[in-house]
Chains A and B, each alone.
Chain A
Amino acid sequence: MGNVGAKETPILLTPDGRRIDGRLKNELRPVRIQAGALRHADGSAFVEWGHNKVMAAVYGPREVHPRHLQQNHKAVIQCRYNMAAFSVDERKRPGLDRRSQEISKVIAEAFDSVVFAEEFPRTSIDVYIEVLQANAGTRCAGLVAASVALADAGIPMVDLLPAVAVGKVGGEIVLDLKKEEDNFGEADLPMALVPQSGRLVLLQMEGHMTEEELGRALDLGVQGCRDIYEKMKAALRERYTLTPIAEAAR
Chain B
Amino acid sequence: MKPGPGTYRVGGKVYASVLGLLSPQASSVEVIPLSGRYVPKAGDLVVGTVTDAQTTFWLLDIGAPRWAPLHMTGTPWKVDIGETGRYLTVGDAVLVRVESLEATGRIGVTMLGEGLGKLDGGTIVRISPARVPRLVGKKGSMIDTISRHTGAKVAIGQNGRIWVGGSPEAIQRVSEVLRLIEENGPRSGLTTHIENYLRATQPADRPYAGPSDREIAGPGGFASPDEDARDEPPAPPSERL
Within the complex, the shortest CB–CB distance from B212 to chain A, in Å, comes to 29
Contact check, A248 vs B184: say whether CB atoms are below 8 A apart.
Answer: yes
Is chain A's interface secondary structure helix, strand, loop, or mixed overall? loop
Within the complex, the shortest CB–CB distance from B142 to chain A, in Å, comes to 14
Contact check, A237 vs B236: say whether CB atoms are below 8 A apart.
Answer: yes
User: Which chain A positions have C-beta within 8 A of B236?
Assistant: 151, 160, 232-233, 236-237
Verify if B69 is at the interface (C-beta below 8 Å from A).
no
Selected contact of A160 from candidates B6, B10, B238, CB within 8 Å: B238
Q: Given A116-B17, A245-B190, does the pair A123, B66 have CB atoms closer than 8 Å?
A: yes
Contact check, B188 vs A63: say whether CB atoms are below 8 A apart.
Answer: no
User: Which chain A positions have C-beta within 8 A of B237?
Assistant: 151, 156-160
Verify if B115 is at the interface (C-beta below 8 Å from A).
no
Q: Inter-chain contact count A-B, CB under 8 Å?
A: 108
Contact check, A121 vs B19: say whether CB atoms are below 8 A apart.
Answer: no
Verify if A43 is at the interface (C-beta below 8 Å from B).
yes
Within the complex, the shortest CB–CB distance from A242 to chain B, in Å, comes to 5
Contact check, B105 vs A121: say whether CB atoms are below 8 A apart.
Answer: yes
Within the complex, the shortest CB–CB distance from A113 to chain B, in Å, comes to 14
- Extra contacts besides A43-B36, A62-B37, A158-B15 (17): CB < 8 Å: A63-B66, A75-B65, A122-B66, A151-B237, A152-B35, A155-B18, A156-B237, A157-B17, A158-B8, A159-B238, A195-B238, A233-B236, A236-B234, A237-B233, A240-B19, A242-B233, A244-B188
* Closest 9 pairs between A and B when the two form their complex, measured CB to CB: A154-B36, A159-B238, A61-B65, A156-B17, A121-B105, A154-B35, A196-B238, A123-B65, A245-B187
List the interface of chain B (C-beta within 8 A of A).
6, 8, 10, 15, 17-20, 33-37, 65-67, 103-105, 130, 184, 186-190, 193, 231-234, 236-239
